Structure 1
């Protein structure tokens, strides 16, 4: 809700806590946060969930915002972690309100900023 309605954050990154029983906030991006700040905070060998609030101007020149849910599952992550994040994704995502798009990425190329821009061209 802080991201969608209050627009307090540009992005949030979540992780499953050490005992595997709770999903907690791992990082927050201020409202003026950049895409690179989000991607730089995704660990190379660990899974994460992320939510990105993307502001853009549509074809008619109207300012818009779309919220992306990202499942970060790098190829180098442990199999147990991959399974945990994959199995809890749907339940966690349903608790988040206002998600417009979903991305799953296993390496940095799959979450390039151009992917975000291309998805918003439909709006």
Structure 2
């Protein structure tokens, strides 16, 4: 909490349900308008029933606002077959304000610690976000991610 930003009380139960009950495939969070809390971005949530969660995730990324995202990524490995893993994504696009990027960066580790997540992917533009091979690199041994072949057999 070095930035002074706290995690809203609604986030831990939402994350718990996402992790254990699989209620969401992707959850978006943002800094509140008053700059004091990290809150759930209610308009940007992806249900497990979404046919293309990765495509929906890409479409939901704002062009000039920072977001924290937790993605319950489905992937396949040669060693252990199909798996899922929670991936923490820090979205800080180049077109967001310097102040927003600074608050976002200084609050990121606090949110990750609150959620107990280590696996992180930092994104700064659409080219980064659309690089699914990079997402796969964050998931040890991934050969496919969200049904997309990484071409690394």
> TM-score with structure 1 length normalisation?
0.90
What value does the CA root-mean-square deviation take over the aligned residues? 1.6
| Deviation at residue 61 of structure 1 after TM alignment | 5.0
CA offsets 1:22-70 (integer angstroms, 9 cap, x no match): 1111121001331111121111011110010111222135321111101
| Matching residue of 2:68 | 49
> Please, which runs of 5 or more residues in structure 1 have no aligned partner?
none
* Runs (4+) off by over 4 Å: none
Aligned length: 122
Q: Where do 1:1-123 residues align within 5 Å?
A: 1-26=16-41, 27-33=44-50, 34-60=53-79, 62-97=81-116, 99-112=117-130, 113-122=132-141
> TM-score with structure 2 length normalisation?
0.73
Q: Is the Cα contact below 8 Å between 1:13 and 1:51 reproduced in 2?
A: yes
The CA distance in 2 between the partners of 1:100 and 1:7, in whole Å, is: 19
Computing the radius of gyration over CA atoms, which structure comes out larger, 1 or 2? 2
> Please, which runs of 5 or more residues in structure 2 have no aligned partner?
1-15, 143-153
